[in-house]
Amino acid sequence: MKSDNSNSETVAVIGAGIIGVTAAYRLQRAGFQVTLFDKEGIAQGCSKGNAGHFATEQVFPLAQKSLLPQVPKMLLDPLGPFCIAPRYFHKTIPWFLKFMNNMRSKLFNENKEALKSINEIAMASWDSLIAETSLQSLFHKQGSLLTFESISSKSAIKVQQEYQAEGISVELLNKTQLNKLEPGISENVTWALLFTDVAHTCCPETLTKEIYLKAKSIGVEFKQCEISKIESDNVLVTITSKGQVYKTDKALLATGAHSKSFCKQLGYKVPLDTERGYHYMVGAAMQPTRPIVSYERKFIMTPMRDGLRLAGTVEFAGLNKEMNTKRADALLPSGKAIWPKINDTKTGEYRWMGFRPSLPDSKPVVGSSPRHNNIYFSFGHQHLGLTLAATNAELIADCILGKETEIPLTPYSISRF
Ligand SMILES: Cc1cc2nc3c(=O)[nH]c(=O)nc-3n(C[C@H](O)[C@H](O)[C@H](O)COP(=O)(O)OP(=O)(O)OC[C@H]3O[C@@H](n4cnc5c(N)ncnc54)[C@H](O)[C@@H]3O)c2cc1C
């Protein structure tokens, strides 16, 4: 495969997660000479073990007032869906103050509109990328379910209406309809919402690696090294790794949860933290055919190529603390409660933890650096990095080419902090 056009300019993409890999592919297709850098390899960070859900229905920012009454109960359960490591608590205070500020109606609505506008174009971008790269076998458009065990039909309808008010296609299913769609679902589930326009992948790691292979086939180079410094004199960008120095015309920072220190080097104070999330892989006598999210238990299960992936939970404990395997194990009883066909066969490296890159306004940073004319950002995609990757890649490519982007990038600018 050849690039669409040619341009002798070089772009360094730092970070080979789904965000960096899709951008590298798109930029090379746009005619740039792209080099992708990563300290671990392709898709070895958060993009490796996520739940594989292209969750375009998730347009509500996490910073919402309805969360507040639930927080004290959640904090009392160290293995519950949300926890803060005691030794990390003081470090989270500035982040949480900003998070709470973003719950104010005006900011909540602005953030929601920004998430909505980027989510609205996300699926079309994935459709194009999947078609171009012939990766249909890794991309399944079966919709997803949000299940309810304890709330009344009236409350379920209210949730449905909230999504419909945002233009999301969603159907309410009763027990009979749900059983027909997913015969393995628990008797405890009384209602479910079916989001019809969403998709999932049966292996996010393979999907990322396959897109990388397509990128490589059109000329993207990969260097495995840990970058320690990024500098720009507005003519060239200098990238340093253990004494090695690379010069490039332009650079894109796509280092996910590890982006904060690079932003500092470039003159930006960005309130980036990580919401550590877990997965647990398990066998099942029968797999569901689409991702299933539990409203009450706050986790997701997705049918993967090599087993059923139970995923979720939010843990604030920074980038250095080892994973707490008990948090991964705690997903199993929740999984069995929704999907009794789970058996105790563990598949592969069955416990995993990843660093979601999270900003207190629930929006990513996407666009150019106002202080430099050759540095660009794409990080902070929190719970939606897989969902937004293909569209982010297009937005970034247009931004670097100096073209008008499909949606304005102002809401995602680094200058908002
Ligand atoms: C349990 C869980 C479930 C999730 N489920 C979903 C889901 O269903 N749908 C969805 O859309 N999102 C989901 N997410 C979120 C999603 O996984 C992330 O938003 C996404 O993977 C972020 O991609 P990224 O490329 O920005 O980061 P990463 O994948 O973390 O990539 C960043 C890369 O930068 C590299 N790097 C860092 N520092 C350096 C350095 N100094 N030098 C060189 N390289 C460096 C790292 O090695 C890494 O490979 C989930 C996350 C978790 C934890």
Instruction: Tell me the pLDDT tens digit for each residue of 286-341.
Output: 999 999 999 999 999 999 999 999 999 999 999 999 999 999 999 999 999 999 99
Instruction: Locate the ligand 1 atom nearest the alpha carbon of residue 383 and give its number.
Output: 15
Ligand 1 binding pocket (C-beta < 6 A) is 14-20, 37-40, 44-47, 50-53, 55, 226-227, 254-258, 277-279, 311-312, 354, 356-357, 379, 381-387
Query: What three-state secondary structure class fits 219?
Result: coil
Distance from residue 241's CA to the centre of ligand 1 (Å): 21
The residue whose C-alpha atom lies closest to atom 12 belonging to ligand 1 is 384
The residue whose C-alpha atom lies closest to atom 22 belonging to ligand 1 is 385
Nearest by Cα to 33 from 402, 400, 406: 400
CA 186 to the chain's CA centroid = 28
Question: Domains along the chain?
Answer: 10-47+205-271+362-416 (3.50.50.60), 57-103+141-200+272-358 (3.30.9.10)
> Which residues is 240 bridged to in the sheet?
229, 245
Counting Cα atoms < 13 Å in the Cβ hemisphere of 106 gives: 1
Q: What pLDDT was estimated at residue 234?
A: 93
pTM: 0.97
State both tokens at 212. 């990388």
Residue keyed to tokens 């160290």: 78
Q: What pLDDT was estimated at residue 348?
A: 75
CA gap 382, 19 in Å, rounded: 12
Distance from residue 372's CA to the centre of ligand 1 (Å): 25
Q: Which helix (H) or strand (E) holds 172?
A: strand 170-173
Query: What three-state secondary structure class fits 84?
Result: strand
On whether the CB atoms of residues 23 and 166 are closer than 8 A, the answer is no
State both tokens at 27. 């930029």
CA distances from 238 to 17, 32, 225 (A): 22, 17, 15
Residue keyed to tokens 């009236």: 154
Query: What three-state secondary structure class fits 284?
Result: strand
Residue keyed to tokens 């969902």: 387
Q: What pLDDT was estimated at residue 285?
A: 93
CA distances from 271 to 98, 107, 114, 118 (A): 9, 16, 18, 21
Strand order in the sheet with 244-248: 229-232, 237-241, 244-248
CA 112 to the chain's CA centroid = 16
Instruction: Locate the ligand 1 atom nearest the alpha carbon of residue 257 and give its number.
Output: 30
Residue 322 buriedness (CB in 10 A; 0-12 / 13-18 / 19+) = exposed
Distance from residue 264's CA to the centre of ligand 1 (Å): 20
Q: Tell me the residue type at 96.
A: F
Distance from residue 395's CA to the centre of ligand 1 (Å): 19
Distance from residue 44's CA to the centre of ligand 1 (Å): 8
Nearest by Cα to 194 from 220, 217, 160: 160
Which stretches in the chain have pLDDT values below 50? 1-4
Mutation pick for ligand 1 pocket among 47, 200, 273 (CB with most ligand atoms within 8 Å):
47
Q: What pLDDT was estimated at residue 6?
A: 62
Mutation pick for ligand 1 pocket among 255, 293, 310, 320 (CB with most ligand atoms within 8 Å):
255
Instruction: Locate the ligand 1 atom nearest the alpha carbon of residue 380 and give its number.
Output: 26
Q: Tell me the residue type at 244.
A: Q
Residue 9 buriedness (CB in 10 A; 0-12 / 13-18 / 19+) = middle
CA 316 to the chain's CA centroid = 17
Instruction: Locate the ligand 1 atom nearest the alpha carbon of residue 43 and give its number.
Output: 49
